[in-house]
Structure 1
């Protein structure tokens, strides 16, 4: 099983041209100076569907989905939004399986993008079983959220854009969950500029990839509620690609408390005028918490904006209990 390479990422970038937003890389005066000399924010919050996920999903569908009857996935958030949008752009049907515990606002957000929603069971494991059944019974193409070469290559295009726009970047701060984003970016960035440091950042509660890297193999963890809910979940056992990519290419990992993540969300709103979900705010949060120091130039991947707005309002009003 061959790992994705820089050539896969370059091909993905060409494939995605005109189909995704080339998101802005903006200077952050509020984060530059004391903690590091210069900080830039890669705003995937400006991506269509509000997160980086559209890159990987679109690359997979363009490569392998032209002859598919339709697509299916188990997701409650950004992956589902991306799949629904990309399938709609291709004129193909899309089914998203969710458990009955998923809040109605999340169901409606995906449904609004044209997806057929199937509510199954009381967990995402139950939802995944329905995905597997639909693949066999209806011939739908399953679209995995991270552990897939085509998806990883799509996410890696973020590194190409960052280094093309600012080749002086010395350190990349990337949200770390299943490893498709962090692994893809780290592999692509280091293939272009081996000296660049790539740090994966997650929440202290239930960080599966960090626990797996510490154990030296993929392991399961107990999933806990977190403001960075998009970083939750397992990495898959077996894991085919992302564990090895993160093990090979990440220079370090960092874990953040809920209070630190909340501070990152507040800072993004007050000083950057950006609405950012918890997972997207972890790089900013790590800088604010003095967990990253660099005398060089830092790029922070701000991965998405799809936060519950009632939670966001409470956080920026500092009324939310963590």
Structure 2
């Protein structure tokens, strides 16, 4: 199994330049109150579809030859990858069929349809099987949410930008679900600055990766268990490919409680003036419960939150 390299990430950066936003690093001087600037936020919520997933989607579609791309694409996702593939497909003028579980927040389903994609709703835990049938029916090309080198390399462009903007960064905290984001960012960081600490973050209620890393192999948590977390974008499990990357690039994995996540959503809204979905706030939650010495960057991975849920969290 061949893993993604820094050359793959650099090639991805060249392909997606002009298609995605080069997000800034936003200082958080309110976070520590010690005078020294220690925390920065990388707000991928500012991307066109409100999440980092657009990087991997554009790189995967851009990597296809013209004839293959013309067949259209298929994806399965709880939301942000769905929107990313739909948006990228619309930019390329090709069809997109997106399989989404019925429990996906409506704001993400509606946003996916906005980009012209055909949405296929499915039962919990059936995304992959339904997507395979859609591929067979349509002849489209599957763009998986994380289990693909081109997707991982696209997400890794975030790591390139972090090192360019803060070359003396000490720690980067990254949400972990299927593992594509942390795999890509970790690959870039470890190649460019091996001493940086790359810390993955999971909800306690969906901590399958944390357990897998402890025992040395992937473990399976039921979809019913993983669906308990408010962080709906972090309910997937790593693939063989991403788990191999995570074992290589993560220095640590921290789990955070539901209360930690809600508090981080409130803090980002009230202090940073950034809207984060619960999944996007877990890295800040980890910083609050387990800050490390030196300069830290936390990845705000997405901001697609249901208005009613955001209102409830802010009122809490």
Give your verdict on TM over 0.5. yes
Segments of 5+ residues of structure 2 without an aligned counterpart are none
Partner of 1:274: 274
Query: Match of 2:42, SS?
Result: strand
Q: Does 1:234 align with 2:237?
A: yes
Partner of 2:250: 250
Change (3 A) 1:105 1:17: closer
CA offsets 1:172-209 (integer angstroms, 9 cap, x no match)? 01111111101111111010011110100110002222
Q: Does 1:298 align with 2:299?
A: no
Aligned counterparts of 1:36 and 1:262: Cα–Cα separation in 2: 26
Within 5 A, what are the aligned runs for 1:1-322?
1-34=1-34, 38-64=38-64, 66-67=66-67, 68=69, 69-120=71-122, 122-125=123-126, 127-222=127-222, 223-236=226-239, 239=240, 241-289=241-289, 291-294=290-293, 296-318=294-316
Contact persistence 1:39–1:299 (CA under 8 A):
yes
Contact persistence 1:36–1:293 (CA under 8 A):
no
TM-score (norm 1): 0.92
Segments of 5+ residues of structure 1 without an aligned counterpart are none
Aligned counterparts of 1:51 and 1:65: Cα–Cα separation in 2: 26
Shift of 1:134: 2.4
Contact persistence 2:209–2:218 (CA under 8 A):
yes
Contact persistence 2:107–2:304 (CA under 8 A):
no
Change (3 A) 1:102 1:264: closer
Shift of 1:273: 0.4
Shift of 1:75: 1.4
Contact persistence 1:182–1:200 (CA under 8 A):
yes
Q: Which moved more, 1:20-29 or 1:67-76?
A: 67-76
Query: Match of 1:3, SS?
Result: coil
CA offsets 1:141-164 (integer angstroms, 9 cap, x no match)? 001101110000000000100110
Contact persistence 1:208–1:232 (CA under 8 A):
no
Q: Which moved more, 1:191-200 or 1:205-214?
A: 205-214
Contact persistence 2:97–2:134 (CA under 8 A):
no
Query: Match of 2:49, SS?
Result: helix
CA offsets 1:34-73 (integer angstroms, 9 cap, x no match)? 5985111111011110000000111000002632311111
Query: Match of 1:219, SS?
Result: coil
Aligned counterparts of 1:255 and 1:119: Cα–Cα separation in 2: 30
Contact persistence 1:183–1:249 (CA under 8 A):
yes
Aligned counterparts of 2:86 and 2:243: Cα–Cα separation in 1: 27
Aligned counterparts of 1:89 and 1:258: Cα–Cα separation in 2: 37
TM-score (norm 2): 0.94
Change (3 A) 1:58 1:118: same
Query: Match of 1:301, SS?
Result: strand
Change (3 A) 1:72 1:27: same
Contact persistence 2:277–2:302 (CA under 8 A):
yes
Equivalent residue pairs, number: 311
Contact persistence 1:36–1:297 (CA under 8 A):
no
Shift of 1:18: 0.5
**Larger relative helix fraction:** 2
